[in-house]
Amino acid sequence: IPTRERADTLFYTIQTCLNQTYSNYEIIVSDNYSKDHTKEVVMSFNDSRLKYINTGKRVSMSENFEFALSHVKDGFIMFIGDDDGVVPNSLEYVNDVINDTSCKAIVSHNAFYTWPDSHGISNRLYWSHRSGYEVRDTKKWIERYLRFNMQYTFDLPGAYCGFVHKSLFEKVSKDGVFFRSSTPDAYSALAIAFSTTKYVYSHSAFAVHGSSSNSNGGSFLSKEKGKEARESKLFKQENTIPFHKDIVFTKAFRTSSLEAYLQFADTFPEFTKNYQIDWKLFLSYVLTERTNNTKEEIENAVKKMCEIHNVKYKEIQEVKRNRFENLSFMEIVDKVINRIKLRLKRQKNKIDNTLDYGVNNIYDAVLLLKFFQNIE
């Protein structure tokens, strides 16, 4: 758990990590030189499974992730945010799946919880209506990612709210460094994807992504230029990894994830030599992420990237995007059926106001999710 001055949410995150039936695991809290009572919160649990480490000085987010990784000796690793949560008994479930499949990477469908103080709509809980898991061909999903109808890297085998064996990290580390982008979650998903031929995708969520007032990503990407929250401004100020020269930084998920891909490609060209980027297609998809708050900023960034990559801005506005491209007939049928199921079961996979259930933190949110998973 990489953390910095979020002791209040961290307390509940640690609670979710300790509420597991599986016993052979360790929780490392990597404190990025916090000035609040983070250390006291960790020590208050007085649990032998908990280990507290401190960077000793303020470092960037990616450096804190790297620092935490350097303290792992062996086994499967999950990175989780300090306002996220692990669903009860998930470690036992993941262990069974690993033993059944022999895969070294497993990720689950995203469940989301918005804390009471989150930016935008608060006190909501979302999860997938599907259950079970599937073993995926990594190459196939890398190709899907590079068609850009995937907004971010959640379908790839990342270690952020997923589990990845340490040997895979080592396969794509160089000079003792794994994280090489300012966006560590996206970078881990892309780097790990190139380090393994298969991975498990669980439709049943075993982790819940939390969004609170201190969350970097969502709060930054949804704000107007110059109106980012304090955490987002610090994230940019403290970043020590230059943004890739082929990408203009803007408030779009696709630019952040492709920037991570390019950083990996520069470091490990032998892994990515058979893949080409369709810049016209990429930039046309970036435009689809415009909101009322970010429209002007994203359009300006896209125009600059058009100049960098010799693409005409007018042409990308005319690109026809097909989300079903290269899908088999049965895959399309499966998508349609699941969309129908989702609409029919809408009331069972979304709670619009968790306060109706007395839920106002991530620990209670994962308990509520577990309850609904059990009755479905």
* Residue 233 confidence (pLDDT): 60
- Residue 326 above 60 pLDDT? no
pLDDT of res. 213: 86
Identify the band that residue 53 occupies on the pLDDT scale cut at 50, 70 and 90: very high
| CA–CA dist 22, 10 (Å, integer) | 21
All residues at 6 or more sequence positions from 73 whose CB lies less than 8 Å from its CB, including other chains: 166
Query: Number of C-alpha atoms within 13 angstroms, CB side, residue 209?
Result: 18
pLDDT digits (tens, 9 = 90+) for 270-317: 999 999 999 999 999 999 999 999 999 999 999 999 999 999 999 998
Pairwise CA distance, residues 336 & 289, whole Å? 23
Question: Is 70 exceeded by the pLDDT of residue 342?
Answer: no
Is 80 within 8 Å of 17 (Cβ atoms)? yes
Question: What is the per-residue pLDDT across 192-213, written as a single tens digit (0 to 9) for each?
Answer: 999 999 999 999 999 999 999 8
Give the Cα separation of 258 and 246 in Å (integer).
10
pLDDT of residue 328 exceeding 80: no
For residue 319, give every residue at least 6 positions away whose Cβ sits within 8 Å of its Cβ, in sequence order, or none: 280, 281, 284
- pLDDT, position 58: 95
354 confidence band (pLDDT: 50, 70, 90): very high
Residue 343: per-residue pLDDT: 60
Q: Which residues is 76 bridged to in the sheet?
A: 165
Task: Return d(Cα 79, Cα 209) in angstroms, integer.
Answer: 11
Range 153-178 average pLDDT: 97
Per-residue pLDDT averaged across 30-45, rounded? 97
